Amino acid sequence: MHAGKKTSFFGVRAANVAAMQRILITGGAGFIGSHLAEALVAAGKVVTVMDDLSTGSRDNLTGLAGQARFRFVEGDVREPAELAGLVQEADFVFHLAAAVGVELVVRQPVHTLDDNVRGTENVLAAASRSSTGVLLASTSEVYGKSVQARFREDDDLLIGPPSFARWGYACSKLLDEFLAMAYWREKRVPVVIARLFNTVGPRQTGRFGMVLPRLVAQAVRRETLTVYGDGQQSRCFCHVHDVVRALVELANRPAAVGQIYNIGGTEEITIAELAQRVNEAAANGAGMKLIPYDEAYGAGFEDMRRRAPDIGKIARLTGWRPTVALAEIVREMVTAECGRFVSVTRPEHRC
């Protein structure tokens, strides 16, 4: 590694290829990580993806396979030895590896806590040995059951009791944030924390619980859409391309170091209305049915009624705003799913 390189990342625009050359993305075979890897390779970076393929997939990286500036390493962030070597080589780390998806975190609470806390600690410890910059991907789950209309980064957090497994995920990511802040304050590791709200777009799988790919898959198959609870809980969805742009913007800003930023869509919608829009976009006449939470996630589950970000902080720093409207997102996902379903399964099917 040449002198000065480690400190040159912040303050350099992503387009400036020479200044921040080698990027490590943990969890880069996942939905968001793979889009980030593509964007960085396209910007001229040399990108290493480390992923244990627990929820990510090699298929997400097919667009990058064989490219000279791209490398995939199958590995687990909970194993410090291999991780340390990769962090050492990198000029900057996007740490996205984590247990994700509400369904997965309620079914595998031990794995969730272990993966999220130990993995992040290992990344930060390795980064502290080489003063490597780290962007920690956190989550809007940390806001818990807060009732503000729009969540702000300096809000108090209202996390539910340990008897509900979901809150263990929120706590694990919150502990990740505390760890990142501690490594910044005490060991001067330049960290920035991004709290991602509901991110959607191509390649997102519904396997671990995410609502939009699930509803879209159901609508394309002419099934009745499964809406949990009373359907009046609301979310804001943001296209993954907008999210990736925000992550790169934050990584480029010295003023972002030691700070937390919300990244999310601004259009709030109830899940029942979302289901209706999906049905309309797919011309599905099968409607929707309400499914009690206990049936969907097992006994002992709490949802959050509303979740909307205040994105003023990142907008003030970088000018970032989401650009892809929800209607466009739904259309894109329906078209993509339809193409997949028709070509693979049912050539006679009309979407």
* Closest distance of CB 206 from ligand UDP, Å: 7
Joined tokens for residue 150: 């729009």
Q: Is 329 exposed, middle or buried (0-12, 13-18, 19+ CB in 10 A)?
A: buried
Q: For strand 133-139 and strand 92-95, is the pairing parallel, antiparallel, or unpaired?
A: parallel
* Closest distance of CB 271 from ligand UDP, Å: 5
DSSP annotation of 257 reads T
Whether 169 is catalytic is yes
Residue with smaller CB distance to ligand UDP, 37 or 274: 274
Residue with smaller CB distance to ligand UDP, 122 or 233: 233
* Closest distance of CB 297 from ligand UDP, Å: 8
Report CA dihedral (64, 69, 74, 75) to the nearest 10 degrees: -140
Rounded Cα distance between 68 and 47, Å, is 10
Rounded Cα distance between 134 and 23, Å, is 10
Residue with smaller CB distance to ligand UDP, 102 or 334: 102
Nearest to 333 by CA among 282, 297, 283: 282
Residue with smaller CB distance to ligand UDP, 124 or 308: 308
Catalytically annotated residue among 143, 169, 228, 297: 169
Which ranges of the chain does DSSP label H, i.e. alpha helix?
31-42, 80-89, 102-107, 109-130, 166-187, 211-220, 240-251, 271-281, 293-297, 312-318, 326-344
Residue with smaller CB distance to ligand UDP, 72 or 197: 197
Rounded Cα distance between 92 and 16, Å, is 14
Residue with smaller CB distance to ligand UDP, 28 or 265: 265
Residues counted in the chain: 351
Residues of this chain that interact with ligand UDP (CB under 6 A) are: 102, 198, 209-211, 214, 226-229, 233, 235, 271, 303, 307
* Closest distance of CB 240 from ligand UDP, Å: 14
- Give whole-number Cα distances, 298 to 55, 163, 294, in Å: 21, 13, 5
Q: Is 125 helix (H, G, I), strand (E, B) or coil?
A: helix
* Closest distance of CB 115 from ligand UDP, Å: 17
Rounded Cα distance between 156 and 261, Å, is 15
* Closest distance of CB 140 from ligand UDP, Å: 7
Give me the active site residues, please.
169
